[in-house]
């Protein structure tokens, strides 16, 4: 079975541009998570969905960030307008359930550089 | 204070050595605990869950001390391939995981 798929793998953009990151979770997984990883802040949970519905977006840094999950097999994370401090690796993860012991499987990440 | 704290290292050990990492967490209501491994420029991957009674998976042993709010990971007979960053993960409630910043291990020949 294919793992979590993310695109693009690398994105370089200029400050002020809109950036859209994409994720396809593992088939049959009902939970989808977006994380951001930086050297300064480590791995942070931005938002997660259950059955396409956002459950907790308290980690979304500000209004410039938005996430959607229009169906069970696709999610986007959008940054508009982008800023240099948004440069990070963005990971998408999915899990079948979200119980205490359920494993989250991570995608390969999108490495974003905002100039 | 961070919710999950780890010694960042780096730990530099020779092949065959035994090395231990500790991780402390602040939320006493946390229910589940994990160790993830992250190779350079790769995604985190589950190494093992940590059970209350402690658990072992080959050369890896995980322990949980709820009273002191820390978990540990012991690696015996280190291999070159064990070189990675090890992330401590605490799940205070279903759905939300908090990751430590990771401990970097380098195993040298």
The confidence score (pLDDT) of residue A1 equals 63
Query: Of B5, B18, B35, whose CA–CA distance to B78 is shortest?
Result: B18
Alpha carbon B39 to chain centroid, angstroms:
14
The token duo for A83 is 């800023």
In chain A, residues with a C-beta closer than 8 Å to the C-beta of B44 are 43, 91, 106
* pLDDT confidence band for A79 (50 / 70 / 90): very high
Query: Of A78, A7, A69, A1, whose CA–CA distance to A32 is shortest?
Result: A69
The confidence score (pLDDT) of residue B7 equals 87
To the nearest whole percent, how much of chain B has pLDDT over 70?
Answer: 98
Q: Which residue has the higher pLDDT, A101 or B83?
A: B83
Instruction: Pick from A43, A54, A88, A89 the residue to mutate for testing the B interface (most B CBs within 10 Å).
Output: A43
CA–CA gap between residue A76 and residue B29 (Å, rounded)? 32
The chain-wide mean pLDDT, for chain B, equals 92
- What lies within 8 Å, CB to CB, of A16 at 6+ separation is A81, A82
In chain B, residues with a C-beta closer than 8 Å to the C-beta of A100 are 31-32, 91, 94
**Residue B107 scores a pLDDT above 70:** yes
B99 contacts A43? CB cut-off 8 A = yes
Q: Does A66 touch chain B (CB under 8 A)?
A: no
The confidence score (pLDDT) of residue B91 equals 85
Strands (E), A25-87: 31-38, 42-50, 53-56, 65-71, 74-79
Residues recorded for chain A? 115
The confidence score (pLDDT) of residue A96 equals 86
């Amino acid at each position: 079975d294919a793992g979590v798929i993310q695109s693009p793998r690398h994105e370089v953009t200029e400050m002020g541009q809109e950036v859209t990151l994409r994720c396809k979770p593992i088939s049959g997984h009902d939970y989808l998570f977006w994380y951001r990883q930086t050297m300064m802040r480590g791995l942070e949970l931005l938002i997660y969905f259950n059955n396409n519905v956002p459950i907790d977006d308290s980690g979304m840094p500000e209004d410039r960030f938005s996430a959607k999950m229009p169906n069970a097999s696709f999610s986007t994370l959008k940054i508009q307008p982008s800023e240099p401090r948004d440069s990070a690796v963005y990971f998408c993860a999915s899990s079948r359930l979200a119980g205490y012991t359920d494993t989250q499987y991570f995608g390969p990440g999108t490495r974003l550089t905002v100039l | 204070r961070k919710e999950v704290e780890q010694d960042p290292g780096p730990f530099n050990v020779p092949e065959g050595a035994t090395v231990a990492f500790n991780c402390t967490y602040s939320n006493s209501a946390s229910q589940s605990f994990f160790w993830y491994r992250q190779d350079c420029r790769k995604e985190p991957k589950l190494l093992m869950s940590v059970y209350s009674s402690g658990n072992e998976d080959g050369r890896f042993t995980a322990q949980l001390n709820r009273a002191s709010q820390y978990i540990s990971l012991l690696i015996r007979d280190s291999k070159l391939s064990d070189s990675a960053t090890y992330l401590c993960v605490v799940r205070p409630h279903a759905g939300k995981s908090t990751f430590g910043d990771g401990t970097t291990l380098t195993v040298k020949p």
